[in-house]
Amino acid sequence: MLVMGVETSCDETAAAIVDDRGTILAQALATQTTEHEIYGGVVPEIAARAHLSYLPPLIKDILKQADLNLEQIDAFAATTGPGLVGGLLVGSMMTKAMAFALQKPFVAVNHLEAHALSARMVADVPFPYLLLLISGGHTQLLLAQDVGRYKLLGTTLDDALGEAFDKTAQMLGLGYPGGRQLEQQARAGDPLRFRLPRPLINQPGCSFSFSGLKTAVRQLIQAKLPELTAVHRPSLLDEQRQTICDVSAAFQSAVVDVVSNRCEHAIAWCREHAPDVRSFVMAGGVAANTSLRQAVQKLCTRNDVQMMVPPIELCTDNAAMVAWAGLEHFRMGQIDSYDAPVRPVWPLENLQDLGHAASKGISL
């Protein structure tokens, strides 16, 4: 059973072929960092046009890598939401066109669910499990009850965690997207030199908030590193470089404290309401952060929960997870019609109401 997955919801164009054991037969990905870098964020119209030119060669490439022709693909899956509407349309229309031409099933995949199920591709992670999804666009704690069934325990009230990393990195002159660079700087920094706020820490529930932290970092940078905001930036002295490292470390340490505290609340909630939860899955680009992983690992060990983080190339946006989510639904007989719409806003909790309208009960 071979499924082709296509991902175009943000600024990554990706295609992959996955089999029903979770083996990735082929995958290809084109990032649009250079297209958006000068704007300091993703420009939707530029992203849609880039997907349009990148996707056809990527599809040819994965078929060649796997030594397959299109007729040998059993089902097609594409991200149809949530995300930027232009990109979603490009990816889903192209995928539906292939499925329709070959009269093969099409599965409309929710991008968040693709992240949620990615751990099951590489390990035996039974339902129910806790999921921390932390990316450039999302920050959520979820209870994954089954394929298509999710309960939202908490989300961000303002910025996504990846966005907070990227904005802080940008203010520190570390480029865009700068999460990874900020982590590198933090390694050489003193997390105790500056004290930043820890929004919502110890408050009841599992919500997140990062805008206050971002404002505090901005004020700190304006006070300690005014040269970074100067129009003609002078070359930096060693002392200023050290301050960049120390601010990065202070930011990361605040984030680690907040995220650990929110995860601890989620684990406590599960103990009371979902006692059969045994695993904690971390996904999304920010799950690449080593300090965060170590902190969550400690928390899981303390609470006798198994932590599972998919390999980093499966944590960040990719098409293998889309193919896999398509496969999980296909296996349950849930497919979609060729005119399934795109959904720029598509909360995971509404999956059963809106997705897979055309369940046809296909058996393998």
3-state secondary structure of 172: coil
By CB under 5 A, is residue 140 in contact with Zn ion? no
By CB under 5 A, is residue 317 in contact with Zn ion? yes
Q: What is the DSSP letter of 197?
A: -
- Nearest C-alpha neighbor of 244 from the set 177, 184, 295: 184
Q: Which of 7, 166, 246, 328 binds ligand KG4 (CB under 6 A)?
A: 166
Q: Which of 92, 118, 135, 248 binds Zn ion (CB under 5 A)?
A: 135
How far apart CA 47 and CA 9 sit, in angstroms, is 9
Taking the complex as a whole, the smallest distance from the CB of residue 284 to Zn ion amounts, in Å, to 6
| Binding-site size, Zn ion (CB under 5 A) | 2
How far apart CA 92 and CA 77 sit, in angstroms, is 8
Residue whose beta carbon is closest to ligand KG4: 285
Please identify, among the stretches 94-102, 132-140, 208-216, 264-272, the one whose residues bind ligand KG4 according to the rule CB under 6 A: 132-140
Taking the complex as a whole, the smallest distance from the CB of residue 277 to ligand KG4 amounts, in Å, to 23
By CB under 6 A, is residue 310 in contact with ligand KG4? no
The DSSP annotation for 28-64 comes to EEEE-HHHHHTTTS--HHHHHHHHHHHHHHHHHHHHH
By CB under 6 A, is residue 136 in contact with ligand KG4? yes
3-state secondary structure of 148: coil
Q: Which of 284, 310, 326, 355 binds ligand KG4 (CB under 6 A)?
A: 284
| Binding-site size, ligand KG4 (CB under 6 A) | 19
Integer CA distances (angstroms), 26 to 15, 121, 234, 336, in order: 8, 15, 46, 24
How far apart CA 317 and CA 5 sit, in angstroms, is 12
Angle at the Cα of 292 (from 297 to 136), degrees rounded to 5?
130
**Of the two residues 55 and 182, which places its CB atom closer to ligand KG4 in the complex?**
182
How far apart CA 263 and CA 127 sit, in angstroms, is 18
Please identify, among the stretches 48-56, 87-95, 135-143, 341-349, the one whose residues bind ligand KG4 according to the rule CB under 6 A: 135-143
Taking the alpha carbons at both ends of the chain, their separation in whole angstroms is 8
By CB under 6 A, is residue 83 in contact with ligand KG4? no
Q: What is the DSSP letter of 258?
A: H
By CB under 6 A, is residue 156 in contact with ligand KG4? no
Using CB under 6 A, which residues numbered 213 to 232 contact ligand KG4?
none
Give Cα 341 distance to the centre of its chain. 22
Please identify, among the stretches 27-35, 46-54, 86-94, 134-142, the one whose residues bind ligand KG4 according to the rule CB under 6 A: 134-142
Integer CA distances (angstroms), 220 to 172, 199, 224, in order: 11, 16, 6
Q: Which of 183, 246, 328, 336 binds ligand KG4 (CB under 6 A)?
A: 183
Per CB under 6 A, residues contacting ligand KG4 are: 10, 135-137, 162, 165-166, 177-180, 183, 284-286, 288-289, 316-317
Per CB under 5 A, residues contacting Zn ion are: 135, 317
